[in-house]
Amino acid sequence: MTRRWCAAIVMLTVMAVTSCASDPPRPEPALGAQLARQMTIDGVYRHLLELQRIADANDGNRADGSPGHQASVDYVADRLRESGFEVQTPQFERLSGSRGGAPALTVAGREHRVDQVSLLITTPPGGLRALTFRPGEPAGCKQADYDSVSVEGAIAVVDDSECSIVDKQAAALAEGAVGMLVVSRANPTKPVGAPPSLFTPGYYGNLTVPVGIIDPTADAALRRTTAPVTLVLDNEPVMTTSRNVVAQTASGDTGNVVVVGAHLDSVRSGPGINDNGSGVAAVLETALQLGARPPGDNAVRFAFWGAEEISADGSTDYVRSLTGEQLDDIALYLNFDMVASPNAGYFTDDGDQSSVTGPQVREVPEGAAGIERTLAGHLNLAGVRPADIPLGRNTDYAPFLAAGVPIGGITTGSSQRKTAVQERIWGGQADVAFDPNYHTPRDTIDNVDREALLITASTIAFTVGSYARSIDGVNGVPPRDQRHRRAP
């Protein structure tokens, strides 16, 4: 090589190095968009195939407490461990029914129907025999309601208005009552039903004396007697042991955790592939694509809940197991349930309460509106127009919402019928349920919408990746020092 060529090569090398050094650094690719691109329908669908196989091998379902549910737990936990996650499968017990017993209220020798409020609390053998007294204020929500009425050693009789059954019992117990009867406004000819505030989540765990519900006929009999009555509440509880699956990234700020959840159980009447294998598959594939040590600023916790189909027992038990500090560490909660309905709509949980036409029935934590905008924005980019769905009380985000955690999620619909307007917006068939197979044996791998599943799965991945990167900005949530949470 000549000296001239050597000099030329040196000069080109210097120029190249100088040019590279002077160029501005390339921006790091947005984690949300990157994660969304990594989601493929085949990647998500493989998990649905496995959940269907598990159901087929276990009496056609994956219901909580069944071998099919345990096999589903093992499948999800194994896939996460293979991807490098440290996985926990915390166990919890739930009340699944009762056995034996013949609850009754005997007044003046005549038996009346009584419903046992808590299967965890029974009367002594032979029943509880005592006088009955009523507070001056019929609701009996506080000690002051009793005023000069003594219920020491007696059964307090209250109505079902104003406050929860736990508050009523606490007031009666403080006044020395040994039991309580609540008169329900429901009756066979006019089934009004108890107010929703009477039975708060997990109420039975807070009762310590026998409590029964009676109708107006039994109440009238009580009013006609001054003699002791006999209360028998002898149904015994049947407890079922279940599990959640929880895995968290090893990287990211543990004081700003993004929690992502989907319920893992099916109903007993079917394999639950859309409800909620679809949510499980999308969340699981998001976790596998994100990896156990992603580059995001915030930790991500993936949760697969047991017993949602019962009454969201898995998520409720989990939230109640957390201290205030641990709840404050949660930046937000994302919930995904039924995201591949065959007559799909595209709904976002109503974080900004724009669908509420009457008085707002609950306080929605700050940040929920921004989560809804994030989800809706990606659905729009995917070519589908999102709509609000009102917030409910019997789903896995409910305990987080009650604890003050901002929540969000998407669904493609269940048993509600698609309207003509929704048909024009989303296609499909009007006057047919979004999922005609909801809670039936037909909720199988053959009855999910692959196109809807890819749209929702990519939206889930985008949202998880975006908040893993940052919880700040116009669609962000309150910072750690502004959170003051407590379990419901």
In the annotation, is 308 catalytic? yes
Q: Kindly calculate the radius of gyration of the chain based on its CA atoms and give it in whole angstroms.
A: 28
Name the nearest CA neighbour of 102 among 118, 91, 113: 113
Distance CA 373, CA 355 (A): 14
Distance CA 465, CA 335 (A): 15
Query: Please, are residues 445 and 44 in contact by the beta-carbon 8 Å criterion?
Result: no
Sign of the C-alpha dihedral computed for residues 332, 197, 337 and 307 taken in this order: positive
Task: Locate 115 and state its tokens.
Answer: 């419903």
Distance CA 264, CA 272 (A): 9
Distance CA 273, CA 262 (A): 13
Give the active site residue among 50, 308, 309, 372. Answer: 308
Residue 481 DSSP one-character state: G
Residue 451: strand, helix, or coil? helix
Q: Is the peptide bond before 335 cis (omega within 30 degrees of 0)?
A: no
Query: Please, are residues 340 and 380 in contact by the beta-carbon 8 Å criterion?
Result: no
Phi, psi (degrees; rounded to nearest 5) at 7: -65, -40
All residues at 6 or more sequence positions from 129 whose CB lies less than 8 Å from its CB, including other chains:
228, 229, 230, 231
Distance CA 399, CA 31 (A): 29
Catalytic amino acids? Answer: 308
